[in-house]
Amino acid sequence: MLICAATGNAGKLAELRRILQAQGHEVKSQKELGIALEPDETGATFAENARIKAQAICRASGLATVADDSGLCVDALGGAPGVYSARYCGHHGDDEANNDKLLDAMRAVPQAQRGARFVSAVCLMLPDGRQLTCLGECPGRVAASRLPGSYGFGYDPLFIPDECGLPGGGKRANAEGRSYAQLTPEEKDAISHRGRALERLQAALPEFLAGGQPQR
């Protein structure tokens, strides 16, 4: 299937393209299609924001469109930054400022209470108006400082997932305490919130395309 990836975030686009292409799809970014539209994310949930983006870009592109809305939900902060993850610092897309604010907010939180989870809602919108939304989560914890790594974006240097992927498939406990930013793309995709949401979407796709609209 030819799919438009509805995002202007280079890191998110790389993950969506990598995972969707591995599933056998052809992916075009909205930039490659000449679409500069940035819909306002006014939803109260990740799923609502994903649908808003998918619908707007699908209408503009005329193609099946996948949009993701995702964020970090921290237990000690009552689920914050949550849907406001990208603009936690007060403006959109400043990864360094967002990470600084999170570190400040967590400064006095002990190790045993630093639990968190990354959440992703992925919405596939078809030009005929049908839509399929799937959720994925990755549990872990917030590090006390940035963990340098060659991969990732956003809060990845601060998030230590409970598991990491294995070459060729499978997963294991993240005994080394590596952050998302320290996992290779293959290790991350196998356990990430976005990878799990897209895996569920791929599993539901045959029934969805055949005319049903399963709920996930």
Catalytic residues: 69
Length of the chain: 216
Residue with tokens 């997932």: 161
Other CB atoms within 10 Å distance of the CB of residue 107: 8
* Cβ(95)–Cβ(101) below 8 Å: no
How far is it, in rounded angstroms, from Cα 92 to Cα 85? 9
129: its two tokens: 């108006």
Nearest to 142 by CA among 129, 156, 125: 156
* Cβ(145)–Cβ(90) below 8 Å: no
Phi, psi of 127 (to 5 degrees): -60, -25
Phi, psi of 158 (to 5 degrees): -105, -10
How far is it, in rounded angstroms, from Cα 157 to Cα 199? 24
